[in-house]
């Protein structure tokens, strides 16, 4: 059985009776067992998956109504709550946290008969872009196991790329879906802020992050969006997308569309292979009838600094609840006074989370807020204005997803500042709330390169059309593992 | 000069649910940690879901206290670690980046004095700490989260009070206003709490916290003024600090925690979008607002000719004014007011008594009508009232069961009158020359009938028999 099929193909195969959900899930679990020792995409595997598949097969056979996923195996980043499952955020702080409720995206997919094959690895609390900051060890890039898979949704990208599932849910705070998607050659989507409910997604920087799918094809992403997007009474920041069908008209093409080439995202430090690939992508889009033109944003050079200031501030507050009193890990309370207990208990955070929380305690503090946090908010609003103005002229913006190629594990872990610069092309979409997608586009000596397209808020549908058009120009090798 | 300012917290007890989830706002009827959910427990991944009704109620309060009301409100996070706070931050409001709390500056009249309101904000109540264990060594702290997330308005005043008495009067008025608006029941335990800040002679401001009741607040303010005056007279510096009210010793104690140095790192709560309360919505809320206490009072005086003092008492207590509104008719209004203020008030003066009583506005209307038509005497009506409060039976049943009806049967009455005339020959003689004495004889008849004789009839029949 071929595990390397798209979500839409899987559904077709099961619908027509060519394969059963049980067989596919069983094969998927086998695949996980055979490759995940090396890749470490999974933090936990659902041992009830095969039973769930059987139930779905029975429904299909008896002619009962079956959900749109037909038992499709999906992996879920370990910062989303699945009822009665461990949800650790790849942190020792939540080692024993078993979620008592389903995230909205999870309950929506359950209704559609998706099967969650397991929870996947990430940087602790989604802070990082290599998955090396997982408290349970790093994931490896299936294209080159010496390299990082990107992050923070590294486990998601690895599991899709290495055929350990058909699709995955990640979360994107500053590029955390798109970055690993680019490094592992999958599609990665960050929707318009508010398109997908965050209820049940463990917050890192709640004002800018979104859940996003990682899939093999652009159509699969559109399919996933159809299932998980829309207004949610449990998340006041969600928007009504009027049950938009993102699949319909996805092949509309991009003739006559205007695309801005972001100068600051192709500048200093860019890998020559990435530059070549980006130029190639631009040429191909022009070949399809798009009009491409360079555009410059003054604020992009401050965007990463603003991003880290804002995310650290929000993280400092969002992660304050982890005092280990109501849930967490095994560390008895007796004999401690509150403050001494929490300062001891909170030592279980890893180094990157600790670093960001220390920054998060400082930058918004009285006496420093004006110099850091409030200034960062100013950058955010100026950047948003610049980008909004650009979208008056352009339909899309293009850039490489990441200016460099996947790098070796350990190579940048001790150099947080240079690591931060890897985010330069992705944070803009988060700071401005715009939708953005990473499309697998090229391969340089076995290392994947992704191209990023960005659109204006709530233009997710046309963005997927453009991404689909670009995807059709690409032919990529199969994953070597 | 003494300056006292207040920070009052009032729970919106009349709401169905908490501020950010569907758990009950009325947490008092639950077993410990039974009124909780992922949101109010601050579980990982949960998000606040704003109770729009709470925003409306808080805005109504702001309007009633003559506060400015912004067209858009926002919520902020106040970050601090405390065991009663499940998220270790509180979602509240803030006006330092522009007026974005439900209410801006306003005022309340206390007698002739205007007390200025600084702002009103909507926020969540934390959980409740329960201390167990006798000594500090084996003391453990338990947390009950049932209260966590209860909608709370914080009302902050300018330091406009000069005496503890003014503070007390203000709190009584405020509490009546909040009850009258139907947003809260301030008589519920812990529903309304206040902190005070006190300074004298333009000196440093001292905050007093942990005050259990309004009565204690008055005492705490007294103590603090005395303490500061004594320091001042001995040239001891008064330091800016937070002091806690020690309920047992009735003194304020410096709280050694460096609370005033806390940096709350306020920033916008991104999980709750700004809420629009445009002029149209505000207008609609205005029309939904119940009649104010002062307007009720005026109406009682002008429409029903009820004395100002009685109207004042009647209008300021929602329980009584609701009873009045439901029971009165054009003709019996004065009598209804009279029964409430002279009889009922002494009987149902606490929340518990009100809850236990089976008295309804129908009882009240029947009673007033019966008195006016002479069916029962005012005297007997008291007995009837007691019985109704206890049993809830309707008035006619009570009258017949307790035999409270007036003796207005001529033959029955004449028997008593004949008896009195024969027993009181002297008084009868006097009555012939001094009509005042008739009253004495009427009283005697009343005694014999246990107050049930129809007084008008008795007088008339006595006069006729004596021949005056």
What are the tens digits of pLDDT across the range B169-206? 999 999 999 999 999 999 898 999 999 999 998 888 99
Long-range contacts of B13-18 (CB under 8 A, 24+ apart): B13/B184, B13/B185, B13/B188, B13/B191, B14/B57, B14/B182, B14/B183, B14/B184, B14/B185, B15/B51, B15/B53, B15/B54, B15/B57, B15/B151, B16/B53, B17/B51, B18/B51, B18/B124, B18/B148, B18/B149, B18/B150, B18/B151
Q: How far apart are CA B340 and CA B276, in angstroms?
A: 43
Please give the mean pLDDT across all residues of chain A.
96
Q: How far apart are CA B415 and CA B410, in angstroms?
A: 9
| Interchain contact, B42 vs A339, CB within 8 Å | no
Listed residue (B158, B151, B164) closest to B214, CA to CA: B164
Percentage of chain B lying above the pLDDT 70 cut: 98
Least confident of A456-470, B116-130, B344-358, B409-423: B409-423
Q: B64 vs B444, which has greater pLDDT?
A: B64
Q: How far apart are CA A188 and CA A213, in angstroms?
A: 6
Helix (H) or strand (E) segment spanning residue B128? strand B128-132
Q: How far apart are CA A126 and CA A190, in angstroms?
A: 15
First-last CA distance in chain B: 70
Q: CB–CB of A85/A99 below 8 Å? A: yes
Specify burial of residue B136 (Cβ count, 10 A radius: 0-12, 13-18, 19+): exposed
Q: Is the pLDDT of residue B454 over 80?
A: no
| Interchain contact, A236 vs B49, CB within 8 Å | yes
Long-range contacts of B425-428 (CB under 8 A, 24+ apart): B428/B466
Identify which of B49, B89, B265 has the shortest CB distance to residue A233: B49
Q: Per-residue pLDDT tens for A294-337?
A: 999 999 999 999 999 999 999 999 999 999 999 999 999 888 88
Cα dihedral A139, A145, A146, A151 in deg (nearest 10): -30
**Which residues of A are tagged catalytic?**
77, 152, 176
- Flag whether residue B346 sits within 8 Å of chain A, measured between CB atoms: no
| Interchain contact, B86 vs A237, CB within 8 Å | no
Q: Is the pLDDT of residue A85 over 90?
A: yes
Listed residue (B343, B356, B360) closest to B390, CA to CA: B356
Q: Per-residue pLDDT tens for B140-168?
A: 889 999 999 999 999 999 999 999 999 99
Q: Give B260→chain A minimum CA distance, Å.
A: 13
Q: Is the pLDDT of residue B451 over 80?
A: no
Q: Is the pLDDT of residue B259 over 70?
A: no
Distances (CA, A) of A426 to A70, A84, A397: 33, 34, 12
Strand locations in A138-232 (E): 167-172, 187-190, 210-215
Listed residue (A258, A224, A238) closest to A437, CA to CA: A224
Mean pLDDT (whole number) for A206-218: 98
Q: Which of residues 172-191 of B touch A (CB under 8 A)?
A: none
Peptide bond into A152 cis (omega under 30): yes
Q: Which of residues 334-373 of A touch B (CB under 8 A)?
A: 338-339, 342, 361, 364-366, 369, 373
| Interchain contact, B265 vs A87, CB within 8 Å | no
Judging contacts by C-beta atoms under 8 Å, the chain B residues touching residue A99 are 43-45
Instruction: Domain ranges for chain B, please list them.
Output: 2-282, 291-402, 410-466
- The residues with which A465 forms a beta bridge, in sequence order, are none
The string of DSSP letters for B258-321 reads: -GGG-----EE-TTS--EE--HHHHHHHHHHSPPPHHHHHHHHHHHH---HHHHHHHHH-HHHH
Q: How far apart are CA A334 and CA A351, in angstroms?
A: 27
- Flag whether residue B49 sits within 8 Å of chain A, measured between CB atoms: yes
Shortest CA distance from B50: residue in chain A:
A236
A7-252+425-471 topology per CATH: Amidase signature (AS) enzymes (3.90.1300)
Q: CB–CB of B193/B211 below 8 Å? A: yes
Judging contacts by C-beta atoms under 8 Å, the chain B residues touching residue A207 are 268, 270
Q: Is the pLDDT of residue B18 over 60?
A: yes
Q: Which of B47, B76, B77, B89 is best to mutate for the A interface (most A CBs within 10 A)?
A: B47
Q: Is the pLDDT of residue B403 over 80?
A: no
Listed residue (A400, A440, A438, A441) closest to A422, CA to CA: A400
- Residue A294: phi and psi, rounded to 5, are -75, 145
3-class state of residue A244 by DSSP: coil
Count CB atoms within 10 A of the CB of residue B379: 14
Judging contacts by C-beta atoms under 8 Å, the chain B residues touching residue A101 are 38, 43, 46
Shortest CA distance from B267: residue in chain A:
A364
The per-residue b/e assignment along B81-96, b for 16 or more CB within 10 angstroms, e otherwise, is: bebbbbbbbbbbbbbe
Q: Is the pLDDT of residue B261 over 70?
A: no
Helices (H) and strands (E) in chain A, counts: 15, 11
- Flag whether residue A62 sits within 8 Å of chain B, measured between CB atoms: no
CB-hemisphere CA count at 13 Å for B369?
12
Q: CB–CB of B84/B143 below 8 Å? A: yes
Would the CA dihedral through A320, A322, A325, A331 be positive or negative? negative
3-class state of residue B358 by DSSP: coil
Distances (CA, A) of A349 to A93, A151, A330, B368, B397: 6, 18, 14, 72, 73
Q: Give A99→chain B minimum CA distance, Å.
A: 8
Mean pLDDT (whole number) for A198-227: 98
pLDDT of residue A52: 98
Least confident of A6-20, A282-296, B316-330, B450-464: B450-464
pLDDT of residue B260: 53
Shortest CA distance from A82: residue in chain B:
B45
Distances (CA, A) of B97 to B91, B93, B94, B140: 16, 11, 7, 40
Q: For residue A254, give every residue at least 6 positions away whose Cβ sits within 8 Å of its Cβ, in sequence order, or none.
A: A285, A288, A289, A290, A395, A465, A466, A469
Listed residue (B363, B366, B383) closest to B375, CA to CA: B366
Listed residue (A118, A148, A180) closest to A39, CA to CA: A148
Please give the mean pLDDT across all residues of chain B.
91
- Residue A158: phi and psi, rounded to 5, are -60, -45
Judging contacts by C-beta atoms under 8 Å, the chain B residues touching residue A373 are 267
Q: Is the pLDDT of residue B463 over 80?
A: yes
- Flag whether residue A96 sits within 8 Å of chain B, measured between CB atoms: no
Q: Which of residues 440-469 of A touch B (CB under 8 A)?
A: none
Q: How far apart are CA A9 and CA A59, in angstroms?
A: 20
Q: How far apart are CA B301 and CA B290, in angstroms?
A: 19
Q: Per-residue pLDDT tens for B329-360?
A: 988 999 999 999 988 988 888 888 888 888 89
Q: What radius of gyration do chain A's Cα atoms show?
A: 21
Q: Is the pLDDT of residue B258 over 60?
A: no
Instruction: Domain ranges for chain A, please list them.
Output: 7-252+425-471
Specify burial of residue A1 (Cβ count, 10 A radius: 0-12, 13-18, 19+): middle
Q: Is the pLDDT of residue B410 over 80?
A: no
Listed residue (B6, B442, B40, B63) closest to B208, CA to CA: B6
Cα dihedral A29, A34, A38, A42 in deg (nearest 10): 10
Listed residue (A301, A313, A264, A308) closest to A382, CA to CA: A301
Q: Is the pLDDT of residue A1 over 90?
A: no
Least confident of A27-36, A79-88, A379-388, A415-424: A415-424
3-class state of residue A384 by DSSP: helix
Percentage of chain A lying above the pLDDT 70 cut: 100
pLDDT of residue B203: 87
pLDDT of residue B27: 96
The per-residue b/e assignment along A377-411, b for 16 or more CB within 10 angstroms, e otherwise, is: bebbeebbebbeebbeebbbbbbbbbbbbbbebee
Q: Per-residue pLDDT tens for A32-54?
A: 999 999 999 999 999 999 999 99
CA B39 from centroid of its chain's CA atoms: 31
Q: How far apart are CA A423 and CA A420, in angstroms?
A: 6
The CATH code of the domain at B410-466 is: 1.10.10.410
Judging contacts by C-beta atoms under 8 Å, the chain A residues touching residue B88 are 320-321, 323
Q: How far apart are CA B236 and CA B238, in angstroms?
A: 6
The ipTM estimated for the assembled molecules is 0.96
| Interchain contact, A202 vs B45, CB within 8 Å | yes
């Amino acid at each position: 059985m071929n595990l390397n099929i798209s979500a839409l193909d899987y559904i077709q195969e099961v619908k027509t009776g060519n394969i059963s959900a049980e067989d596919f899930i069983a094969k998927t679990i086998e695949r996980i067992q055979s490759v995940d020792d090396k890749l470490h995409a999974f933090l936990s595997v659902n041992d009830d998956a095969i039973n769930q598949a059987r139930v779905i097969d029975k429904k299909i056979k008896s002619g009962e109504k079956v959900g749109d996923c037909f038992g499709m195996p999906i992996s879920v980043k370990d910062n989303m709550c699945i009822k009665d499952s461990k949800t650790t955020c790849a942190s020792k702080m939540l080692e024993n946290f078993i979620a008592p409720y389903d995230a909205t995206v999870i309950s929506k997919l359950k209704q559609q008969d998706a099967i969650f094959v397991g929870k996947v690895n990430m940087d602790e609390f989604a802070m990082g872009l290599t998955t090396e900051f997982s408290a349970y060890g790093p994931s490896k890039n299936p294209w080159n196991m010496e390299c990082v898979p990107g992050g923070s949704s590294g486990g998601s990208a690895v599991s899709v790329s290495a055929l350990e599932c058909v699709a995955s849910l990640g979360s994107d705070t500053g590029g955390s879906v798109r970055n690993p998607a680019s490094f592992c050659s999958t599609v990665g989507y960050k929707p318009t802020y508010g398109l997908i409910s965050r209820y049940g997604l463990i917050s890192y920087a709640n004002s800018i992050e979104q859940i996003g799918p990682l899939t093999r094809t652009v159509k699969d992403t559109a399919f996933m969006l159809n299932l998980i997007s829309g207004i949610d009474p449990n998340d006041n920041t969600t928007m009504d997308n009027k049950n938009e069908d993102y699949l319909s008209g996805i092949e509309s093409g991009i003739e006559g569309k205007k695309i801005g080439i972001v100068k600051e995202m192709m500048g200093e430090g860019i890998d020559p292979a990435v530059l070549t690939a980006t130029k190639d992508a631009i040429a191909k889009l022009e070949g399809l009838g798009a009009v491409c033109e360079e555009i410059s944003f003054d604020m992009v050079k401050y965007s990463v600094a603003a991003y880290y200031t804002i995310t650290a501030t929000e993280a400092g507050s969002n992660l304050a609840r982890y005092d280990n009193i109501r849930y967490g890990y095994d560390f008895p309370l007796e004999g401690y006074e509150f403050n001494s207990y929490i300062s001891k208990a909170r030592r279980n955070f890893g180094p990157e989370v600790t670093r960001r929380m220390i920054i998060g305690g400082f930058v918004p503090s009285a006496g420093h807020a004006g110099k850091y946090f409030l200034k960062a908010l100013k950058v955010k609003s100026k950047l948003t204005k610049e980008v909004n103005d650009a979208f008056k002229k352009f339909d899309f913006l293009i850039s490489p997803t990441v200016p460099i190629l996947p790098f070796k594990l350990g190579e940048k872990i001790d150099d947080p500042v240079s690591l931060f610069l890897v985010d330069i092309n992705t944070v803009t979409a988060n700071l401005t709330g715009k939708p953005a997608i990473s499309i697998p586009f090229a391969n340089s000596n076995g290392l994947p390169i992704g191209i990023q397209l960005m659109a204006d808020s709530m233009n997710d549908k046309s963005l997927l059309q453009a991404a689909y058009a670009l995807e059709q120009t690409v032919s990529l090798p199969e994953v070597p593992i | 000069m003494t300056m006292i300012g207040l920070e009052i917290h009032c729970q919106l007890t009349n709401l169905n649910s908490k501020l950010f989830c569907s758990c009950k706002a009325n947490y008092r009827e639950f077993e410990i940690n039974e009124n909780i959910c992922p949101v109010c427990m601050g579980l990982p991944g949960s998000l606040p879901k704003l109770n729009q009704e709470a925003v409306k109620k808080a805005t109504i309060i702001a309007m009633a206290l003559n506060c400015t009301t912004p067209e858009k409100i926002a919520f902020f996070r106040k970050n601090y670690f405390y065991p009663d706070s499940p998220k270790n931050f509180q979602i509240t409001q803030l006006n330092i980046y522009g007026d974005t709390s439900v209410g801006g500056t306003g005022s309340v009249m206390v007698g002739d004095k205007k007390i200025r309101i600084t702002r009103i904000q909507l926020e969540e109540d934390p959980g409740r700490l329960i201390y167990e264990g006798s000594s500090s060594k084996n003391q453990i702290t338990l947390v009950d989260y049932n209260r966590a997330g209860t909608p709370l308005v914080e009302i902050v005043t300018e330091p406009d009070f000069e005496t503890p008495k003014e503070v007390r009067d203000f709190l009584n008025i405020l509490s009546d206003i909040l009850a009258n608006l139907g947003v809260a029941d301030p008589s519920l335990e812990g529903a309304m709490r206040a902190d005070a800040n006190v300074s004298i002679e333009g000196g440093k401001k001292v905050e007093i916290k942990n005050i259990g009741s309004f009565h204690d607040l008055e005492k705490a303010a007294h103590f603090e003024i005395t303490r500061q005056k004594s320091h001042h007279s001995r040239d001891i510096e008064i330091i800016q600090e937070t002091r806690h009210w020690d309920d047992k010793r009735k003194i304020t104690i410096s709280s050694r925690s460096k609370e005033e140095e806390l940096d709350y790192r306020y920033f916008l709560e991104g999980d709750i979008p700004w809420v629009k309360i445009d002029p149209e919505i505000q207008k609609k809320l205005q029309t939904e607002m119940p009649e104010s206490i002062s307007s009720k009072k005026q109406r009682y005086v002008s429409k029903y000719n009820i004395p100002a003092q009685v109207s004042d008492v009647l209008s300021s207590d929602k329980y009584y004014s609701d009873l009045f509104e439901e029971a009165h008719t054009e003709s019996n209004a004065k009598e209804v007011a009279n029964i409430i203020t002279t009889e009922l008030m002494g009987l149902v003066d606490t929340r518990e008594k009100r809850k236990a009583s089976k008295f309804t506005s129908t009882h009240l209307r029947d009673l007033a009508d019966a008195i006016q038509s002479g069916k029962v005497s005012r005297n007997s009506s008291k007995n009837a009232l007691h019985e109704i409060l206890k049993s809830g039976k309707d008035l006619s049943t009570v009258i017949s069961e307790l035999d409270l009806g007036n003796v207005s049967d001529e033959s029955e009455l004449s028997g008593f009158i004949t008896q009195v005339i024969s027993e009181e020959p002297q008084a009868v003689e006097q009555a012939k020359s001094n009509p005042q004495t008739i009253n004495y004889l009427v009283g005697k008849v009343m005694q014999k009938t246990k107050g049930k004789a129809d007084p008008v009839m008795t007088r008339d029949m006595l006069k006729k028999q004596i021949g005056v």
